[in-house]
């Protein structure tokens, strides 16, 4: 029996007020794809940060490739040990080309004295690496011009150029479409065959079961289980993660179709969208499906006036309205929960109180000043109503977990007069338990007579939660289904079939 490639023994790590890792032991074998699972705050990120030298463990031992390591610095991790992390937020410079990015900081020099870069050599080596990955990417293309999937491949290529032995992928598929995900998995299997060990973090459990050899589940800083992926089911993983059997993953309730809340007629934009018309009804969820780049987020932004429309009319409650800015949209009761939670939804450096009330401060003004008590009451009410786990109202939102951050953003809109909610990827990057809570909030909203438009890349979510479904493909609306007629196959056909319809 050979010793594991990476052996963690009784690892503990505490931060002020929280035991992030508690006596965790994991063995990872050479050349395996090992998934690390757990809800947000379970300790996955902390574990990764210990391995990459960002933090140091309080107690326990780490044995790597047969050697016990007493400490790891970030530069040691990469240069000496070949431990290379690829984060969800890619660390590439968009203005540099692919080859320059791959050799950034490790440039090959043509002239030592004047430190002139040997372009020919880095382009040649980049070509070589990209070929082994089977990627058709030009080494001289600017990274900013590549799609997210290709950029991810550039990160992988970069990792290979440093001869990574332990590759850590932190939610690599979160922003990838299905084709790109398949491509990434193919490359992962190829690397595995070459003896690279891979730690893979994902919230998409289907993917975990598909790609990983084994997985480890963490909960509240403790290891719950390490087991073979083969033979395991999604339900098993979920119950490990949340520590209980979860009821229905999609708690859909019976709904009744109300009046038309929002009607969009002939909406087009200069860049992508073409002649889109649909209606969203009160008391219902309208699912918006489509591949990455189909124009779903663009549609949401065009409706609320965040981006300009080239044509199209919008009706709220049957009357035509002029919406040229998010402010106008909110005036007519339309709110957008953005896909990019941190970049466009939250004020990370501000408190829960600030975030939960900032969209409608007028409501708390008495005479000319904001009545802080009223403001606190309103924030406390959404914290209670949405079950937001936060130490207090004055906690910075950047200290909350992803699921709780998402609930704070939802809370911001609940504190306004909005009753038409556009949710763009509302459960992206949040854990299973929090997902169900978000679905329950959506159920509550429509039960109260709101209209919800839910954009999602996850078909099971679309099928599980929508009353009606529209499908976009390359900026056009290609199909509309009722809940009863919709199937995964029909939606995929409409999502990929836009090309055929386009004349």
Partner 1 sequence: MQAKSGLQKSLQRMNWGDVLLNRVGALLGLIIIMIGLSFASPHFLSFRNLMNVAQQSAINSIVASGMLLAIVTAGIDLSVGSILALSISITGILIVNMGWNSVIGVIIGLAVAAGAGMINGLVLTKLRLPHPFISTLGMMNVARGLALIITNASPISGFPKWIQFVGAGYVGRIPFSFILVLITVVFFHFFLTRTTLGRHIYAVGGNIEAARLSGIDTDRVRVWVYTISGLMAGIAGLTLMGRVNAAYPLAGLSYEMDAIAAVIIGGGSFMGGVGNIWGTLIGAIMIAVIRNGLNLLGVSPDAQTIVIGLVIIGAVYVDVLRRRRRTA
Contact residues: partner 1, CB under 8 A: 304, 306, 325-327, 329-331, 336, 338, 343-350, 354, 358-362, 365, 367-370, 372, 412, 416
Q: Which is nearer to partner 1, 167 or 356 (CB)?
A: 356
Q: Which is nearer to partner 1, 103 or 423 (CB)?
A: 423
CB 229, min distance to partner 1, A: 36
CB 411, min distance to partner 1, A: 12
Convert 421-451 into a string of H (helix), E (strand) and C (coil).
EEEECCCCCCCHHHHHHHHHHHHHHHHCCCE
In whole angstroms, what is the distance from residue 389 CA to residue 263 CA? 36
Alpha carbon distances (Å) from 210 to 355, 429, 447: 38, 19, 37
Q: What is the DSSP string of 88-121?
A: SS----TTSBHHHHHTTTSPPEEETTTTEE-HHH
Q: Which is nearer to partner 1, 304 or 455 (CB)?
A: 304
Tokens of 326: 């998010």
Q: Which is nearer to partner 1, 184 or 352 (CB)?
A: 352
CB 418, min distance to partner 1, A: 9
Per-residue b or e along 27-54, where b marks 16 or more CB atoms closer than 10 Å to that residue's CB:
bbebbbbbbbbbbbbbbbbbbbbbbbbe
CB 344, min distance to partner 1, A: 5
Q: Which is nearer to partner 1, 327 or 501 (CB)?
A: 327
Mention every residue, 6+ apart, whose C-beta is less than 8 A from residue 35.
199, 200, 201, 202, 208, 211, 212, 214, 215, 216, 229
In three-state secondary structure terms, 228 is strand
In three-state secondary structure terms, 68 is strand
- Distance from CA of residue 217 to its chain's centroid? 19
CB 378, min distance to partner 1, A: 14
Q: What is the DSSP string of 142-177?
A: BGGGS-HHHHHHHHHHHHHHTT-SEEEEESTTTT--
CB 357, min distance to partner 1, A: 8
CB 377, min distance to partner 1, A: 15
Tokens of 233: 């089911």
In three-state secondary structure terms, 322 is coil
Q: Which is nearer to partner 1, 84 or 306 (CB)?
A: 306
Q: Which is nearer to partner 1, 208 or 422 (CB)?
A: 422
In whole angstroms, what is the distance from residue 69 CA to residue 62 CA? 6
Tokens of 264: 């969009």
Q: Which is nearer to partner 1, 15 or 120 (CB)?
A: 15
CB 486, min distance to partner 1, A: 30
């Amino acid at each position: 029996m050979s010793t594991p490639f990476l052996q963690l023994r009784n690892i503990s790590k505490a931060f002020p007020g929280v035991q992030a890792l508690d006596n965790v032991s994991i063995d990872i074998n050479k050349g395996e794809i090992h998934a690390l699972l757990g809800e947000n705050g379970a300790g996955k990120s902390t574990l990764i940060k210990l391995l990459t030298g960002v933090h140091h463990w309080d107690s326990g031992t780490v044995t790597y490739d047969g050697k016990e390591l007493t400490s790891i610095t970030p530069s040691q991790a990469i240069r000496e040990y070949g431990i290379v992390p690829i984060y969800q937020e890619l660390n590439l410079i968009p203005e540099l080309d692919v080859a320059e990015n791959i050799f950034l900081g490790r440039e090959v020099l043509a002239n030592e004295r004047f430190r002139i870069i040997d372009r020919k050599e880095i382009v040649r080596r980049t070509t070589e690496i990209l070929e082994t990955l089977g990627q058709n990417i030009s080494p001289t293309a600017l990274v900013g011009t590549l799609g997210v999937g290709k950029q991810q491949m550039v990160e992988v290529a970069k990792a290979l150029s440093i001869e990574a032995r332990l590759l850590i992928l932190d939610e690599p598929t979160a922003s990838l479409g299905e084709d790109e995900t398949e491509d990434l998995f193919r490359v992962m299997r190829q690397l595995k065959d070459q003896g690279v060990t891979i730690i893979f973090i994902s919230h998409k459990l289907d993917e975990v079961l598909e790609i990983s050899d084994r997985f480890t589940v963490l909960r509240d800083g403790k290891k719950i289980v390490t087991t073979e992926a083969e033979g395991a089911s999604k339900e098993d993983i979920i119950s490990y993660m949340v520590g209980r059997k979860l009821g229905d993953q999609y708690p859909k309730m019976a709904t009744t179709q109300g009046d038309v809340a929002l009607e969009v007629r002939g909406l087009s934009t200069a860049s992508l969208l073409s002649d889109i018309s649909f209606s969203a009804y009160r008391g219902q969820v309208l699912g918006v499906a489509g591949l990455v780049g189909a124009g779903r987020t663009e549609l949401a932004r065009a409706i609320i006036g965040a981006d300009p429309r080239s044509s199209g009319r919008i009706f709220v409650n049957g009357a035509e309205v002029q919406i040229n800015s998010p402010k106008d949209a909110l005036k007519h009761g339309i709110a957008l929960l953005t896909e990019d939670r941190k970049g466009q939804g939250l004020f990370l450096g501000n408190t829960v109180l600030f975030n939960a009330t900032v969209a409608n401060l007028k409501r708390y003004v008495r005479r000319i000043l904001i009545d802080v008590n009223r403001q606190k009451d309103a924030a406390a009410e959404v914290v209670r109503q949405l079950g937001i786990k936060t130490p207090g109202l004055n906690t910075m939102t950047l200290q909350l977990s992803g699921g709780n951050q998402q609930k704070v953003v939802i809370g911001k809109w609940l504190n306004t007069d909005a009753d038409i909610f556009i949710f763009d990827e509302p459960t992206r990057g949040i854990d299973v338990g929090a997902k169900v809570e978000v679905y329950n909030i959506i159920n509550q909203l429509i039960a109260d007579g709101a209209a919800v438009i839910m954009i999602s890349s996850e078909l099971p979510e679309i099928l599980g939660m929508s009353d009606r479904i529209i499908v976009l493909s390359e900026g056009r609306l290609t199909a509309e289904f009722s809940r009863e007629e919709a199937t995964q196959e029909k939606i995929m056909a409409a999502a990929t079939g836009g090309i055929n319809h386009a004349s």
